[in-house]
Structure 1
Amino acid sequence: MVAMFSFRSLEVFYWTAHLRSFSRAADKLNTTQPTISQRIGVMEGVIGSPLFDRSAKPIALTATGRTLFGHAELLLRQVAAMERDLELSNRFEGTVRLGVSETIVQTWLAAFLEQAAHHFPKLDIDMTVDVTPSMLDALRDGEIDMALMLGPTIVEGFSCIKLKDYALKFYAIPDLVPNDVFSLDSVPPTPIITYPRNTYPYTYLRETMFRELGRIPRIFTNSSISTIEKMALDGLGVALVAEGTLSGHGLDKLRILKSDVELQPLSFYAYFQAGVRGTVFEQLAHIASEVASGGG
């Protein structure tokens, strides 16, 4: 099989099958969709049988394709293991598509990028800052290779390791909230400003307050922590964000409110591709874990 197909062809076939898409495989391998189609076509010509059912949406492996997939995965895993044992992964050249939650951007991302560059001098990181639900979709669709985001959750084909917990705190300018206490018994008339609607802080707070108060609370949402901070500094509402994410200026001007609202901390995890070619991603995940636990 090795003599029949080049390593690159097997890699192209594996990722096309894994992502169930010619275009996503092209993005993953930094090439074009016609190039992917041409390589798959050549492989099918050598075998004399189609590898994919192209009429299926998304594309699906044929019986022949499933047979080849098992062999291709085994070979690619063996190559990855060889690179790991010979410590060749530190010489990795290429681009890692990374998704990051803004909480991490505001805390220890810079330290992580510095350590990643130290371990992988030829590594390029294509970074996207987004909310967790969007990053989950991007992982499943093969649009990013790894993510530093809220968890835990199960993503097929990915492993994850715990990074850090961040307590959620209410913040407001002086005198906005009586006695600096945010209580369900005396919810201030000003809105709460927090993360987007499809995140845990928003959904949990909304449901808790609706259940206790019998009415829908006023909640403003924004995906930018710096914007939430600016709105709180302007006295537009009470900010609910992860502890440690406000700027020094924000911490100087805003007060932490006491509260009887019990909120679970935000738990962040590193999600990375498991198995084939996953050694670099796993090492990056462990670098993230070390940086996060070091006081980020």
Structure 2
Amino acid sequence: MNLRAVESFYWVVMLRSVTRAAEKLHLTQSAMSSRVAMLEQELGMLLLDRRDKQFRITPAGQRFFVHAERLLALQHEILAEMGTVASQPVLLKVGAFESASHSWLMDWVRSVHKVQPMLALELTVETSPVLVDLLSRGALDIAIAALPAAGAGVRSMALPSMAMRFVGHVDHHTRRSWTPADLAALELITFQRGSQPHVALLDLFHRAEVEPKRVHTVSSISAMTQLVEDGLGVATLPEAVLQRLRRRMPLKALNCRTRLPPLPTHLSWRVEPTSTVQSLVDSLLTHLGVDPDHQKTR
């Protein structure tokens, strides 16, 4: 039995799409369909119902999917036992929102590279909704976002949330203490419209019954901090990001009487029978001080 055909069928079922499975395995859609057809011919039964455009797996396909998982897991186990897996490059497709990529993510990547020098990282920095969609489509192995991902073969858990601060210029924002009214008089910079930081900022002023002068929404932390450095406003940023950037930029946290709510952070990943993603997830959790043996997954 051709294990490449088995792998192709596995991903068609997991992603519920021939097109997405083809993208995942870097194949053309016709090549993916041919592999599944070859497997069906060998088994002598239909695994997928192709009578219309809606995805359907046949009862025979559902039964074979269980065996497909076992076959691929056994293949990975054999290669690991023979030492073949360890000697091959490991491509890890990670997606992260800006707050993680500007704080602890690169430290974890460096620590992984020390023990797995064959690791090749494919990093995508995007907004949380985009990351969740990419993971669901099989384009990412791991997603770190403000939202959890869901779906077949996907696990997710909440990571420690990130404390948020109002960040200003060390020379331009010298007031000892700031009220919501004080902040409302400034040019304010936060993340993209509709994001948790943006909504939280507007809610803070709504509860304080003050109207902010102007709120700018920017998806790039680099652009946000450049605006603050140029004296063009005050930004809302994770404290962990500020701690890293203040070493080389004239930034400081403003002492505010009203606190911003923390930024939720979620780790989502794909569970695959032929992947080392789970061990990398465990190392990430250890790096963050989260016990991998007490994961709350869904």
Supply the distance in 1 between the matched residues of 2:17 and 2:219 (Cα, whole angstroms): 30
The worse-fitting range, judged by mean Cα deviation, of 160-169 and 281-290 is 160-169
Q: CA RMSD in A?
A: 3.0
TM-score of the two chains, using structure 2 as the length reference: 0.83
- Indicate if the aligned counterparts of 1:103 and 1:245 stay in contact, CA closer than 8 A: yes
- Indicate if the aligned counterparts of 2:245 and 2:251 stay in contact, CA closer than 8 A: no
Paired residue for 1:262?
259
Query: What's the offset of the Cα at 1:261?
Result: 3.0
- The residue correspondences of 1:56-135 to structure 2 (distance < 5 A) are 56-80=52-76, 89-135=85-131
Supply the distance in 1 between the matched residues of 2:152 and 2:63 (Cα, whole angstroms): 21
Query: What's the offset of the Cα at 1:202?
Result: 0.9
- Indicate if the aligned counterparts of 2:158 and 2:266 stay in contact, CA closer than 8 A: yes
1:200 aligns with 2:196: yes
Please, which runs of 5 or more residues in structure 2 have no aligned partner?
291-298
Q: Structure 1 residues 52 and 238 mapped into 2: Cα distance closer, same or farther (>3 Å)? A: same
Q: Structure 1 residues 96 and 23 mapped into 2: Cα distance closer, same or farther (>3 Å)? A: farther
Q: Which of 261, 272, 277 is the equivalent residue of 2:274? A: 277
Q: Which of 150, 157, 161 is the equivalent residue of 2:153? A: 157
Q: Structure 1 residues 18 and 180 mapped into 2: Cα distance closer, same or farther (>3 Å)? A: same
Query: What's the offset of the Cα at 1:97?
Result: 1.7
Paired residue for 1:253?
250
Supply the distance in 2 between the matched residues of 1:215 and 1:36 (Cα, whole angstroms): 56
Q: Structure 1 residues 55 and 146 mapped into 2: Cα distance closer, same or farther (>3 Å)? A: farther
1:41 aligns with 2:37: yes
Q: Secondary structure at the match of 1:193?
A: strand
Q: Structure 1 residues 115 and 58 mapped into 2: Cα distance closer, same or farther (>3 Å)? A: farther
Supply the distance in 1 between the matched residues of 2:5 and 2:157 (Cα, whole angstroms): 31
TM-score of the two chains, using structure 1 as the length reference: 0.83
Q: Secondary structure at the match of 2:241?
A: coil
Question: Between the two proteins, what is the percent identity of the paired residues?
Answer: 27
Supply the distance in 1 between the matched residues of 2:152 and 2:140 (Cα, whole angstroms): 14
Query: What's the offset of the Cα at 1:78?
Result: 4.1
Q: Structure 1 residues 155 and 50 mapped into 2: Cα distance closer, same or farther (>3 Å)? A: closer
Query: What's the offset of the Cα at 1:175?
Result: 7.0
Q: Secondary structure at the match of 1:136?
A: helix
- Indicate if the aligned counterparts of 2:94 and 2:121 stay in contact, CA closer than 8 A: yes
- How many residue pairs were aligned? 289
Q: Which amino acid aligns with 1:225?
A: I
- Indicate if the aligned counterparts of 2:132 and 2:148 stay in contact, CA closer than 8 A: no
Q: Structure 1 residues 16 and 237 mapped into 2: Cα distance closer, same or farther (>3 Å)? A: same
Query: What's the offset of the Cα at 1:222?
Result: 1.3
1:239 aligns with 2:218: no
- The residue correspondences of 1:209-248 to structure 2 (distance < 5 A) are 209-213=205-209, 215=211, 218-246=214-242, 248=245
The worse-fitting range, judged by mean Cα deviation, of 214-223 and 38-47 is 214-223
Please, which runs of 5 or more residues in structure 1 have no aligned partner?
none
Q: Which amino acid aligns with 1:264?
A: P
Q: Structure 1 residues 63 and 118 mapped into 2: Cα distance closer, same or farther (>3 Å)? A: same
Q: Which amino acid aligns with 1:198?
A: G
Q: Which amino acid aligns with 2:231?
A: G
Paired residue for 2:294?
none
Query: What's the offset of the Cα at 1:72?
Result: 1.3
Q: Which amino acid aligns with 1:261?
A: T
Supply the distance in 1 between the matched residues of 2:56 and 2:188 (Cα, whole angstroms): 47
Supply the distance in 1 between the matched residues of 2:75 and 2:178 (Cα, whole angstroms): 57
